[in-house]
């Protein structure tokens, strides 16, 4: 069996269940030693079960229970990987929560909690991992193997009316991803983001209307097992040329998202725009656009395996 991640260590946050669990198991299957992080009710038992699964398959893993949205805890998590395995090669940021509500009904605590866990959690672990890789590269004078896989969402790409906090956090993660990709490229580190669609405990209400798997189904189209192989690939040496990218993955398909492009450009005929000139230019332009079209790419929601 091919083991492209042999001799590498990995951290997967939120790995006690669902998507993170599938990712941790896949990285271990490909040869990585894994730090299985989780937090919240039942997290210690859940993380221990994933570690036991990895050990039973002949792999290496240790559990870590802690909130990655806490800066010091994130540092301890990265330190655990380095101390246990002699370094860190892969960071998969997956931990997250939902507090869904329409913007006019959402309270401050619901907003803050989601931004904290998703966006700050991604920053915290990435900060400490980047410090480690930068120091290693400077010590050796050569690039290191560093891979970051961040978890964004179609809620950012398409817009999600009932998830303003979640969509904002996931959009912020894409900005963090592209910034980090540019900052760490010279050290041999890549940073990419995925938009997975998977049926997990966190998303059971979101995907309640999707077809449930039956006994005859080989694999649920929304199984996290459709997502984990892409994470394994992005974590590998084979993906060294893949950096600062955003990929949508679910149900047997992967879509590479294009970067934003300029749709139209308007120049003032004078020294500066006036209201009247903007009205004369922009109003006809938008009148000719499809009704209800926004910057959001709602068509991504209809992507399926052919």
Active site residue 265: no
Active-site option among 152, 170, 223, 236: 170
Given a contact cutoff of 8 angstroms between Cβ atoms, the answer to whether 47 and 64 are in contact is yes
Which among 81, 71, 158 has a CA at the least distance from the CA of 117? Answer: 71
Residue 153 annotated to the active site: yes
User: Residue 47 contacts by C-beta under 8 Å, 6 or more apart in sequence?
Assistant: 15, 16, 36, 37, 38, 63, 64, 65
Q: Which of 9, 43, 152, 153 is catalytic?
A: 153
Give, rounded to a whole angstrom, the gap between the first and last alpha carbons of the chain. 29
Q: Give me the catalytic one of 43, 166, 223, 236.
A: 166
CB atoms within 10 A of CB 287: 8
Q: Give per-residue burial for 247-261: e unless 16+ CB within 10 Å, then b.
A: bbbbbeebeebeeee
Kindly provide the b/e burial profile for residues 181-197, where b requires at least 16 CB atoms within 10 angstroms of the residue's own CB: beebeebbbbbbbbbbb
Question: Are 250 and 222 spatial neighbours (Cβ–Cβ below 8 Å)?
Answer: yes
Cβ-proximal residues to 290 (8 Å cutoff; 6+ apart), any chain: none
Q: For the chain, how are helix, strand and coil distributed in percent, rounded to 5?
A: 45, 15, 40
CB atoms within 10 A of CB 286: 10
Collapsed DSSP state (helix, strand, coil) of residue 149: strand
Nearest to 228 by CA among 111, 90, 108, 79: 90
Which residues are part of the catalytic machinery? 153, 166, 170
């Amino acid at each position: 069996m091919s083991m492209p991640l042999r001799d590498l260590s990995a951290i997967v946050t939120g790995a006690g269940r669902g998507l993170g669990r599938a990712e941790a198991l896949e990285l271990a299957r490909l040869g990585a030693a894994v730090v299985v992080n989780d937090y919240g009710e039942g997290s210690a038992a859940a993380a221990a079960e994933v570690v036991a699964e990895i050990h039973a398959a002949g792999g290496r893993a240790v559990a870590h229970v802690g909130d990655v949205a806490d800066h010091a805890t994130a540092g301890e998590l990265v330190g655990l990987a380095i101390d246990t395995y002699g370094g860190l090669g892969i960071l998969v940021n997956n931990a997250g929560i939902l507090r869904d509500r329409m913007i006019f009904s959402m309270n401050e605590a619901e907003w803050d909690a989601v931004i904290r866990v998703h966006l700050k959690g991604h920053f915290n672990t990435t900060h400490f991992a980047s410090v480690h890789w930068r120091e290693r590269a400077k010590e050796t004078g050569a690039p290191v193997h560093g891979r970051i896989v961040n978890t964004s969402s179609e809620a950012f790409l398409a817009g999600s009316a009932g998830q303003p906090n979640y969509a904002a956090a996931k959009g912020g993660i894409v900005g963090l991803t592209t910034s980090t990709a540019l900052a760490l490229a010279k050290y041999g580190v890549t940073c990419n983001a995925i938009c997975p669609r998977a049926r997990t405990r966190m998303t059971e209400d979101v995907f309640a209307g999707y077809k449930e798997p039956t006994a005859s189904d080989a694999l649920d189209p929304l199984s996290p097992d459709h997502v984990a192989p892409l994470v394994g690939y992005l974590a590998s040496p084979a993906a060294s040329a893949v950096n600062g990218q955003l990929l949508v993955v679910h149900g047997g398909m992967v879509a590479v998202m294009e970067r934003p492009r300029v749709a139209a450009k308007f120049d003032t005929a004078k020294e500066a725009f006036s209201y009247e000139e903007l009205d004369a230019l922009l109003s006809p332009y938008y009148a000719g656009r499809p009704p209800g079209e926004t910057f959001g790419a709602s068509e991504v929601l209809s992507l399926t395996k052919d």
